[in-house]
């Protein structure tokens, strides 16, 4: 299975669900052992949190990924009201670069 959901469809009602997403790295931010990846597909963008430095380190803009993990509510004060998916993030358990 390539994906269970599209990036742009995730909302607060998906919190707690395990999802598989595919898309491109739009942006990557590193914060001391945790990487935040904006994963985009044709439906929109969602933030994916990668806590494994070895997995996150080689990722660059426009890499094509499959990410599997749990949808979580963003911590208080970290929601992004400018994005339809801004209330949630995906905590990655598995990330694969697709070629």
pLDDT in tens, the chain (99 residues): 799 999 999 999 999 999 999 999 999 999 888 999 999 999 999 999 999 989 999 999 999 999 999 999 999 999 999 999 999 999 999 999 998
Terminal CA-CA length for the chain: 16
Output the pTM of the full model.
0.95
Could you tell me the domains of the chain?
7-98 (2.40.50.140)
Structure tokens given for 66: 């499959």
Alpha carbon distance 29, 19 (integer Å): 22
Residue 1, pLDDT score? 76
């Amino acid at each position: 299975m390539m994906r269970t959901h599209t990036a742009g469809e995730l909302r607060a009602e998906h919190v707690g669900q395990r999802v598989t997403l595919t898309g491109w790295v739009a942006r990557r931010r590193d914060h001391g052992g945790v990487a935040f990846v904006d994963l985009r597909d044709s439906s929109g963008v969602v933030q994916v949190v990668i806590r494994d430095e070895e997995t996150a380190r080689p990722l660059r803009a426009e890499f094509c990924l499959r990410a599997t993990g749990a949808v979580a509510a963003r911590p208080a004060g970290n929601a992004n009201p400018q994005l339809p998916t801004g209330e949630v993030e995906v905590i990655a358990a598995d990330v694969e670069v697709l070629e």
